[in-house]
């Protein structure tokens, strides 16, 4: 596990303890039950991919540990509408505060500004965070294999499914894939392949392409990180990958929605 990931997870354990002090599980479950019905995150991607189009999860991200501040003029509601107009199938919202300058309020604002399904992108290690995600209105949650044991992954996945949340399980390498297979969450969960190396933060699309032949049958694959040009999209589509998570390259543009539209139209 990389040093930065361990640092983040230590902070998450503190946040879970604080969340437990603030809310009982019963109170959070009541809030989750009162939230709007999930919008169908996986289904939105599946419908777009089935029509032969690139299904993009457009990311709303203010900063990252490796790149620092990405976008100073940060308005999650405007960004959500801009992405929706640009052809996004879904949205990814960073809610981690300390390392990515995110906030739960960003998810609420973005989801309220458009009709797209949203994923809570954070480092989730406890079922209470999954319940909180549904209470916030999330339609999907991210589970990072490198941050969890197979037992934890299975437990968190089951919690999400019980709350009618979709799940995107993220892997970075073959070892992560083995853990996910051991957890038994495929093919029910979406499988995200992150092209960014957790230790060096370098990106290579070869990560997705090298792992594709190893995947179990029926996996719905999302390629993540390093998608910056139309040629990157075309290369993945040629390999049979139609689902994308794209953030930084779009967030740096004056209009991320216009940038997304250009990326999808330029083939």
Which of 61, 62, 92, 249 is labelled catalytic?
61
Report residue 261's pLDDT band, with 50, 70 and 90 as the boundaries.
very high
Give the number of other CB atoms < 10 A from CB of residue 203.
17
Which of 15, 62, 64, 121 is labelled catalytic?
121
**Which of 80, 222, 217 has the alpha carbon at shortest distance from 143?**
222
Report residue 201's pLDDT band, with 50, 70 and 90 as the boundaries.
confident
Q: Which residue has the tokens 């060096």?
A: 200
Question: What DSSP letter does each residue of 17-42 carry, written as one string?
Answer: HHHHHH--HHHHHHHHHHSPPP--HH
Active-site annotation holds for 224: yes
Active-site annotation holds for 59: yes
Active-site annotation holds for 12: no
Which phi and psi (to 5°) does residue 90 adopt?
A: -150, 170
Terminal CA-CA length for the chain: 38
Q: Distance between CA 192 and CA 171 in Å, rounded?
A: 6
Residue 1 has pLDDT above 60, yes or no: no
Homologous superfamily of 3-265: Aldolase class I (3.20.20.70)
Question: pTM for the complete prediction?
Answer: 0.96
- Which is more confident, 197 or 85? 85
pLDDT of residue 158: 98
Task: Break the chain into its structural domains and give their ranges.
Answer: 3-265
Which of 12, 15, 59, 220 is labelled catalytic?
59
Of the listed ranges 107-116, 166-175, 195-204, the least confidently predicted one is: 195-204
pLDDT of residue 4: 85
Report residue 2's pLDDT band, with 50, 70 and 90 as the boundaries.
low
Q: Distance between CA 21 and CA 31 in Å, rounded?
A: 16
Which of 64, 104, 194, 249 is labelled catalytic?
194
Which of 170, 195, 220, 249 is labelled catalytic?
170
Which phi and psi (to 5°) does residue 79 adopt?
A: -60, -40
pLDDT per residue over 43-77, tens digit each? 999 999 999 999 999 999 999 988 899 999 999 99
Q: Distance between CA 103 and CA 33 in Å, rounded?
A: 21
Q: Distance between CA 81 and CA 255 in Å, rounded?
A: 11
Mean pLDDT of the chain: 95
Share of the chain above pLDDT 70, in %: 98
Q: Distance between CA 168 and CA 222 in Å, rounded?
A: 8
pLDDT per residue over 123-153, tens digit each? 999 999 999 999 999 999 999 999 999 999 9
**Which of 140, 129, 124, 113 has the alpha carbon at shortest distance from 39?**
140
Active-site annotation holds for 170: yes
Residue 266 has pLDDT above 80, yes or no: no
Task: Return the H-helix or E-strand segment holding 66.
Answer: none
Which of 15, 132, 220, 224 is labelled catalytic?
224
Active-site annotation holds for 175: no
Which of 42, 64, 195, 225 is labelled catalytic?
225
């Amino acid at each position: 596990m990389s040093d930065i990931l361990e640092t983040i997870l230590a902070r998450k354990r503190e946040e879970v303890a604080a969340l437990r002090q603030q809310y009982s599980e019963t109170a959070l479950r009541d809030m989750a039950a009162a939230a709007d019905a999930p919008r169908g995150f996986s289904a939105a991607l599946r419908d777009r991919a089935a029509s032969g189009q690139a299904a993009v999860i457009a990311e709303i991200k203010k900063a990252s540990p490796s790149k620092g501040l990405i976008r100073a003029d940060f308005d999650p509601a405007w960004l959500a509408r801009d992405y929706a107009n640009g052809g996004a199938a879904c949205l990814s919202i960073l809610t981690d505060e300390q390392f990515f300058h995110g906030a739960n309020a960003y998810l609420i604002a973005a989801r309220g500004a458009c009709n797209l399904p949203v994923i809570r992108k954070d480092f989730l290690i406890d079922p209470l965070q999954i319940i909180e995600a549904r209470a916030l209105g999330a339609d999907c949650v991210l589970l990072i294999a490198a941050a969890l044991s197979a037992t934890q992954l299975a437990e968190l996945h089951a919690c999400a499914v019980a709350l009618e949340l979709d799940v995107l399980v993220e892997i970075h390498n073959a070892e992560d894939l083995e853990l996910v297979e051991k957890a038994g969450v495929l093919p029910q969960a979406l499988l995200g392949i992150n092209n960014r190396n957790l230790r060096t933060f370098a990106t290579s699309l070869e990560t997705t392409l090298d792992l594709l032949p190893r995947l179990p049958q029926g996996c719905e694959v999302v390629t993540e990180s390093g998608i910056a040009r139309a040629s990157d999209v075309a290369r993945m589509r040629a390999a049979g990958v139609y689902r994308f998570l794209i953030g930084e390259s779009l967030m740096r543009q004056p209009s991320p929605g216009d940038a997304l539209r250009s990326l999808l139209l330029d083939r």
